[in-house]
Amino acid sequence: MLYAIIATDVANSLEKRLAARPAHLERLGQLKNQGRLVLAGPHPAVDSIDPGTAGFSGSLIVAEFESLSAAQTWADADPYRAAGVYASVVVKPFKLVLP
């Protein structure tokens, strides 16, 4: 089943994000290589594709996991969590309708 991982950043998270980004992307790459990643990306803190120093306000990942518990366990082990980038993370089932 698909699950949405919706994360909200702490204030001024950009420096922490940049430091943890390689490890974060490596884990997402594993999901992609397994054919389980639907989409992933950050929410710019301002209305721009490149927010510059404004940084990001959070992230969204939609991926396939065996269960809600497995999705939560995966989200809890994200390098952004360990680095203090995320203030909160919500994991919930997701039903893809379109496209």
Residue 10 included in any domain: yes
What pTM was computed for the model? Answer: 0.95
| pLDDT attached to residue 59 | 98
Alpha-carbon span 55 to 89, nearest angstrom: 18
Residue 99 included in any domain: no
Tally of structural domains, the chain: 1
> Pick from 8, 79, 81, 20: which is nearest to 45 by CA?
8
List of E strands, 1-99? 2-9, 37-44, 56-64, 86-94
Residue 42 included in any domain: yes
Residue 38 included in any domain: yes
Residue 66 included in any domain: yes
| pLDDT attached to residue 40 | 98
**What would the pLDDT profile of 25-54 be if each residue is shown by its tens digit?**
999 999 999 999 999 999 999 999 999 999
